[in-house]
Structure 1
């Protein structure tokens, strides 16, 4: 099975978020895809298969479970198809039959994702303690993603968070992850964020695109602007631009191919 490793949301190798992209020649069952994703060990592995013309099915697996939507693995899959075919646009269909429309835009890849709302929520104090957060500006929840959103005051505090992941995973059940965000202290960006998801994937996702389905709208309302620049202040770091248009969010990013090979099934 043709397999690629791609660093997403960066133009530098060994930065951004690594994803595996697999192109199976035959149908794989979910157990096989999960085993492959667990073996590779990246936060997500994407499996893409052509349906017709520029339309492809896409499925995402973390080392632990199938994920309905993943931004950086969609970007990685798009990079592979744009690099190995003559396509200028792609339509991916995920496991929930959500259509993801992708286009080339100069040296970047433009992805269209749905927009989801968030709602006010309360979180256990032990979750905040596990993250090392003493005060929050806002606490919200995305039901579609099963992700808690916490806004804190300082981008510097965000970058310095060092969670106790054993305590974190024991502090809550029934969620996929916790997103912590803060307004940027850098004029080149509007907001910073980090994403912790030991419940469904790895301890921390290096760069996360899928959360822009609700995070872009959150900051667009707060900052009263529809075009935003985001910085993920993980150890590997990553950047992207987003644009909110009613019920759609556009995510623009770059990606670098770092490995091409074959997975022996």
Structure 2
């Protein structure tokens, strides 16, 4: 099975978020896909299959489970398809039959994702203690992605967070992850964020695109602007541009291929 490793939301190798992209020509059992994702160990491995014309199915697996949406793996899959075909735009269909559109725009890849709402939520002090946070501005919940959002005051504090992941995992059940965000101090960036998800994937996702389905709307309302520049202050770091368009969010980023080979089944 043709397999690629791609670093997403970056134009530098070994930065951004690595995703594995597996090109499937035949039906593969869920158990096998999960074993492959666990073997590779990236936060996501995507399996894509050509349906017709520029339409592909796409499925995302973390080392622990299948998830319905992943931004950096969609970006990585698009990078591979654009490299190996003559298509300039793609329609992906995920496991929930949601259509995800991508296209090449000025040397970058633009993805069109749905927009989701957040609601107020109460979170335990144990979660804040595990994250190393003493003061918060806001706390929200997105039920579609099953993610808690926490806004704090200081982007430097955000970058320096060193969570106790065992305590974090024990502080809450039934969610996929916790997103922590703050207004950016960096020139030309609007907001910073980090995403921790020991419940569903790895301890920390290096760069996360799917959370823009609700994070872009959150910051667009707070900053009163529809076009935003986001910085993920993880160890690998990553950047993306986003734009809120009513019920859609556009996510613009870059990706670089670092490995091409065959997975032996």
Aligned partners of 1:59, 1:138: CA distance in 2, in Å?
33
Q: In structure 2, what is the Cα distance between the partners aligned to 1:145 and 1:225?
A: 24
Unmatched 5+ residue regions in structure 2?
A: none
Structure 1 stretches of 4+ moved >2 Å: none
Check the 8 A contact 2:20/2:46 in 1, yes or no. Answer: yes
- In the alignment, is the contact (CA less than 8 A) between 2:209 and 2:251 conserved in 1? yes
State the partner residue of 2:22.
22
1:161-204 deviations in Å (ceiling 9; x for gaps): 00000000000001000000000111210000000000000000
Does residue 57 of structure 1 match 2:57? yes
Measured in 2, the distance between the counterparts of 1:233 and 1:181 equals 10
TM-score (norm 1): 1.00
User: CA separation in 1, counterparts of 2:186 and 2:42?
Assistant: 29
In structure 1, C-alpha distance between the alignment counterparts of 2:153 and 2:189, rounded to whole Å: 16
Partner of 1:131: 131
Q: Secondary structure at the match of 1:111?
A: strand
The alignment status of 1:153 with 2:157, answered yes or no, reads no
TM-score, structure 2 as length reference: 1.00
The answer on 1:254 being equivalent to 2:238 is no
Structure 1: 5+ residue runs without aligned partners?
none
Query: Distance between the aligned counterparts of 2:80 and 2:50, measured in 1?
Result: 13
| Secondary structure, counterpart of 2:58 in structure 1 | strand
CA RMSD of aligned residues (A): 0.4
- Secondary structure at 2:231 match in 1: strand
CA contact (8 A) 2:207 2:238 kept: yes
How many residues were matched structurally? 265
Which residue of 2 is the match for residue 213 of structure 1? 213
- The question of whether the paired residues in 1 share the 8 Å contact of 2:229 and 2:242 is answered with yes
**Paired position in structure 2 for 1:183:** 183
The alpha-carbon deviation at position 142 of structure 1 amounts to: 0.3
Give the secondary structure class of the aligned counterpart of 1:170.
helix
